[in-house]
Copies of this chain bind each other. A is one copy, B any other.
Amino acid sequence: MNIDLYPSRVSNKATIKERKDPVIHSSAEGPLKQPELTSYEENGYLMIEKLFTDEEVELMIKELEKTMKDNQSRESADVIKEPGSNEIRSVFEIHKDSGFFELLSKNERIVKIAEQLLGSQVYINQSRINFKPGFKGKEFYWHSDFETWHVEDGMQHMRAVSCSIILTDNYEFNGPLMLIPGSHKWYVSCAGTTPDNNFESSLQKQEAGTPDNESLSWLTEKAGGRIDRATGPAGSVLFFECNTMHGSNGNLSPYPRSNVFFVFNSMENVIGKPYSGQDPRPEFLANREEVKPIQSVPSNSLTKQSIHY
């Protein structure tokens, strides 16, 4: 195994260290202009308003509802329900549906941005659709995705970017994603160890890999006391760096919040063995030998004519 650049859950004491990887991995041409790149590099995220049209969003919602319905009675590691209810919160691996979401995951509007940020060809490391119901959508505590992917899945470098296509207007009051600007520049090594079967429970309620209060306060102070919220109209897309500290409040409003979520990883950062060595990863994360770079499809391939392929 390679040397562990980012040890976590290895002691009873949390620590915070500077990241060892660049944030933007190339100076190659791409859809993002310099101010957008600078903003992503500084903050660790970038919201692009209405990257998809209302018509495309409508299609996505229909497909999301269909996928939710198809999975309602399926018990599987890739179908996650609300704690204490039978309501679906997420369906994973939707980029392998040989249909709409596979096509969406290859759309050049998002793939070319991921390639630009990661400086290489990319593949989908994880995908899901998320549905946060009105009234009872639960909070999700602060975490860095990279910490989990590193410790539990074996992602070696910070060279991945999450892409969240928001399908419902995100308001201040319906539990939008909250992000600590600049937090991606620091790695919080969490205290404790990974319990067995953490994957299944952590998607419902985060426990292992939970950053400590002191580190969170420090990161927020570094950000000038600012915590940002990913609000915006449906069709907007949030790109956020794999190590950006984020979380979300519950959703007390009547308005559900849903999104499509793709994690693009660099082909030069393909996942190995988990660092913890303890966690039995779900099968769909285990098969890494088949990873192939995405061949993006044209931007207009979501229109009604072309989805009946």
Contact = CB atoms under 8 A, between A and B. Distances in A.
Nearest to A213: B135
Contacts of A250: 139, 249-250
A188 to B, nearest CB: 13
Nearest to A221: B254
Contact of A254 (B134, B171, B217): B217
Interface string A135-171: 1000101100000000000000000000000000001
A204 interface: no
Contacts of A221: 254
A227 B171 contact: yes
Contacts of A229: 172-173
A225 interface: yes
A246 B173 CA distance: 12
A173 B227 contact: yes
Interface in A233-265: 247, 249-250, 252-255
B249 A213 contact: no
Contacts of A134: 213, 217
Interface majority SS on A: helix, strand, loop or mixed?
loop
Nearest to A225: B255
Contacts of A247: 252
Contacts of A141: 252
A189 B85 CA distance: 26
Contacts of A255: 220, 225
Nearest to A135: B213
A216 interface: yes
Nearest to A218: B254
A45 to B, nearest CB: 15
A178 interface: yes
Contacts of A142: 252
Nearest to A171: B227
Interface in A196-225: 213, 216-217, 220-221, 225
Contacts of A178: 173, 252
Contacts of A254: 213, 216-217, 220-221
Interface centre among A134, A135, A225, A249 (most CB of B within 10 A): A249
Contacts of A252: 139, 141-142, 178, 247, 249
27 contacts: A134-B217, A135-B213, A135-B216, A139-B139, A139-B249, A139-B250, A139-B252, A141-B252, A142-B252, A171-B227, A172-B172, A172-B229, A173-B229, A175-B249, A178-B252, A213-B254, A216-B254, A217-B254, A220-B253, A220-B254, A220-B255, A221-B254, A225-B255, A247-B252, A249-B249, A249-B252, A250-B250
Q: Which 8 A-B pairs have the closest CB atoms?
A: A173-B227, A217-B254, A249-B249, A172-B172, A220-B254, A247-B252, A139-B250, A135-B213
